[in-house]
Amino acid sequence: MKFSTPRLTSILMSSAIIACFWLSVAKAADTERLKKDVIPTFQTINLKIDARETEYGGNVNMALTVKNAANSFIVHAEDITLIDIILSGKDGEISVSPELGEYGRTTLTCAKELTPGEYTLGISFTASFNTQAVGLYRSESGGEHYLFTQFEESDARKAFPCFDEPAFKYPFQLTLTIPEEHIAISNTPVEIESASEGWKTITFKKTEPLPSYLLAIAAGPLETVDVPDMPIPTRIVCAKGKNYLTGETAKITPPLMTALIKYFERPYPYEKLDLIAVPEFWAGGMENAGAITFRETLLLLDPEAITVSQKLSLVSVMSHELAHMWFGDLVTMEWWDDLWLNESFASWMGDKIAHQEFPTLGIAVSEVESGLGAMVGDARPTALAIRPPQSKTADLLSGFGFIYSKGQAILLMIERWLGEETFRKGINQYLQENEWKNATAAQLWSALSTVSAKDVEGTLGNFITKPGVPLVTVEVIDNKKLRLTQKRFMNFGVTAPEEILWQIPVALKYNDGKETREFSLVMSQPEEIITLESGGELQWLFPNVSAAGYYRWQVPDDMLANLAENSQKYLNAQERIGLLRNLAALLDAGEISGGIYLKTLNAFASDPEPVVIDNLISGLGKVKEAFAPDDLKKEFAAYVNRMLKPALDRFGLEAKSGESEEAALLRPSLISWLADEGENEEVQIYLTTLAKNYLSEPTSIDPALAGLCVRTYAKDGDNKLFEDFKNRFETAQVPAVRSRFLYALGSFEDPEIIKSALDYALHAKLSAQEVLTIPFSISSPSEEKEMMIFNWVMENYGIIAKRIPEANLPGMARFGGGCSHEKLQKAREFFTHESRILKETNIILARVSDQVSDCVNLREREGESVAAFLKQFAASN
């Protein structure tokens, strides 16, 4: 599964990014594993489903092997009414009585002991279609109803009875009876189809062995479009009337597929592929075998108005999901404790292939950025290991978003260390040994160790089984000799819960006065002395080549200043980003002052690379959150102009012909920052003119700026404009236009209109994943506005809780985040109230509390130094 997060951190307004984080808080579900006494080996599923109805019925038949004698066993069936259960063995029928437990764990107690042998279990049932976009759910789009599924990680049990754990990997055969005018899609091609009395019955071919979470169904008045140049029959599936939006997906998919087949040296594992655009969907994509589901906004793009940012999201989610067809589907994790590997591998592999096929989208940089992002959370005391040795499922799944990025960074580091080709050999050996089966992470490490003759498991060890990120401190003893020390990196005033010793693949880059050289080692001691090869005087040193190592670093102050001052001369773009992010971390750790941090950012204002400017904007975002309250607005605006105006002069307000895709990606956030935080009048007027042009003729402007200009225009908008935007939102055909106007509805600043917008969020016909878009998109939230949104959440919690799945509710505690202990305290009282507390609430609250403490501490510690800098800066400019 992949959540849709843009690479450029500031592409979307900060609120939208919070929305992504919020979405990325997955649930913790059933923590107990089923015993292996009774094992399913095959299952048929027959369902009669009509998307226009609210209920359905069906039956399943399972072939079971009893390995060890048992009096009872458990199957999963949640929110389902069981009608009839028939268990048969070689001696005939055995009566069973069901008892429903937590998470749909249904214990079937048998009238007599089951002896080892073969049995069949038939269950007929009825159920209601889910309406919160999980399980087998019903969704409306353009006045028509559709059915889709989302099963990861434990919601297949809400659609039909099954053994709903990844280790039960066996073939299924699905038969669907649907209205004759509808279309149905599942994991395999159709085997037989027959029609009678307005219904048609479709039996799909038997699947390869699959875990239940990878099954999929889509049904309703769907449309399909063939994708040419694919090694297997491939279609894009979409809601009625939308097939004219599939062109870009058809274009970008074949090269990604070809590249993956080449990397893995084995064919695509399944007989066909459907790429399904789902109007109502929580994630970005879900890797159902042969029937991948995507959020409609990602897959269906207006051919007349495709932006680079849309293409980037599409390519990155598509490559991630396709990579899962081998890693996750063909070979499946044994249990959810290896979910991190499943996901981080798909992210790493997806980005690698996407960068190879679409090198101008800057995906190589996003790989590095995701690791640098993970380090922020990893510096906090509540950080969890991505694979704790003894873990409960609750812990494993609650850090869902984090494990993608930290895991990906670790894989990137290991690949650099072993070499690309060796790493690839290890991966392919692991796939070869485990195809169609389950496997554990240990089996992958063992394959990598064998092909590389290096201790991969030992090196990965504490990066995976312990929380935290190491800090590598470099001291210069003399011209060639360096002392390297390692310890856990923590933010200022926080004591590490335990000291950890890592084996860190460190790569240094330095200049000896004659040439630039590299030096690598695996650092396994708390302190090591190394001797560099050198033909002259050490000029400078950068401790993390290509920012590919998962560690923070520190060098002497004068060396740091020199690196920042000459970054364009010494370092590549990834390294300059690494340097910028590392500076922010040193600020959090109290190693540099706020004033020095702001002064150092200055050196990056002239950077020619858009991706570096984007990270400079992230740095400014940090300053804004912690240091720029309302009384420093003017001074901060002057500083923002000084930092970003040079970049705007270089890249321009308007797209230039032949410009890089990275420049096109940067423009919206650059303009947005100058208009909002920089209060730059010229840019504000430009956006207003653009908005007027767009509203009268949508094709007349650069589509990349459409969202930004309507949001900016909304700020001073009146009721009439609000009604106009509502109408444009409700009648939009193109998913991107719909989401553009939904965000814009949250951008009005008139307090009365904000109230109407929040009311609209609660009562309008929105899909489940849209319910919180308006509150998240309330623009440039001052602390007063943040409090208002938070109060609204508390007042309407009951209504919201009915619209979104329970699994996503604990994530709402993130509304307590920001820079205020007072708000945090209210959030704590509210969300831990006995009527609302859920299993994961405390984990989320602990993290939110860490974030708030960091922000408040930073403000208290450095506020004066930053205010002094900004005032002096404004006075002298």
Q: Least distance from C-beta 78 to Zn ion, angstroms?
A: 23
Span near Zn ion by CB under 5 A; candidates 1-9, 228-236, 589-597, 598-606: 1-9
b/e 754-776 (16+ beta carbons within 10 angstroms → b): bebbbebbbebebbbbbbbbbbb
Q: What CA–CA distances, in Å, run from 635 to 501, 621, 639, 641, 875?
A: 44, 15, 6, 10, 8
Q: Which of 2, 105, 352, 581 binds Zn ion (CB under 5 A)?
A: 2
Q: Which of 1, 25, 278, 555 binds Zn ion (CB under 5 A)?
A: 1
User: Which 344-383 positions form the footprint of Zn ion (CB under 5 A)?
Assistant: 346
Q: Are 873 and 635 in contact (CB under 8 A)?
A: yes
Please, which residue, 2 or 711, has the CB nearer to Zn ion?
2
Please, which residue, 328 or 470, has the CB nearer to Zn ion?
328
Q: Are 676 and 669 in contact (CB under 8 A)?
A: no
Q: Least distance from C-beta 456 to Zn ion, angstroms?
A: 23
Q: Least distance from C-beta 262 to Zn ion, angstroms?
A: 21
Q: Are 8 and 665 in contact (CB under 8 A)?
A: yes
b/e 694-723 (16+ beta carbons within 10 angstroms → b): bbeebeebbbbbbbbbbbbbbbebeeebbe
58: β partners: 47, 125
Residue 345 to residue 409: CA distance in whole angstroms: 10
Within 10 A of 193 (CB to CB), how many other CB atoms are there?
12
Please, which residue, 345 or 713, has the CB nearer to Zn ion?
345
Please, which residue, 129 or 282, has the CB nearer to Zn ion?
282
Please, which residue, 373 or 818, has the CB nearer to Zn ion?
373
Q: Least distance from C-beta 138 to Zn ion, angstroms?
A: 25
User: Which 332-351 positions form the footprint of Zn ion (CB under 5 A)?
Assistant: 343, 346
Query: In the chain, how many H helices and how many E strands?
Result: 28, 29
Binding mask 289-328 for Zn ion (x = CB under 5 A): ----------------------------------------
Please, which residue, 294 or 776, has the CB nearer to Zn ion?
294
Span near Zn ion by CB under 5 A; candidates 2-10, 215-223, 723-731, 868-876: 2-10
User: Which 484-523 positions form the footprint of Zn ion (CB under 5 A)?
Assistant: none
Q: Least distance from C-beta 344 to Zn ion, angstroms?
A: 9
Any idea what the Cα angle at residue 702 is, between residues 701 and 707, rounded to 5°? Answer: 90
* Residue 403 lies near Zn ion (rule: CB under 5 A): no
Q: Which residues contact 500 (CB under 8 A, 6 or more apart)?
A: 462, 466, 468, 470, 488
b/e 36-49 (16+ beta carbons within 10 angstroms → b): ebbbbebbbbbbbb
Q: Least distance from C-beta 332 to Zn ion, angstroms?
A: 12
Smallest CA-to-CA distance from 344 within 291, 411, 283, 393 is with 411
Secondary structure of 671-715 as H, E, C letters: HHHHHHCCCCHHHHHHHHHHHHHHHHCHHHCCHHHHHHHHHHHHH
The residue type at 653: L
Tokens 């935007």 locate to: 725
Q: Least distance from C-beta 427 to Zn ion, angstroms?
A: 16
Please, which residue, 322 or 824, has the CB nearer to Zn ion?
322
Please, which residue, 274 or 786, has the CB nearer to Zn ion?
274
Q: Least distance from C-beta 320 to Zn ion, angstroms?
A: 6
Count of residues touching Zn ion (by CB under 5 A) = 4
Tokens 């992958």 locate to: 444
Please, which residue, 2 or 157, has the CB nearer to Zn ion?
2
User: Which 719-738 positions form the footprint of Zn ion (CB under 5 A)?
Assistant: none
Q: Least distance from C-beta 438 to Zn ion, angstroms?
A: 17
Please, which residue, 288 or 393, has the CB nearer to Zn ion?
288
Q: Least distance from C-beta 237 to Zn ion, angstroms?
A: 20
| Contacts to Zn ion by CB under 5 A | 1-2, 343, 346
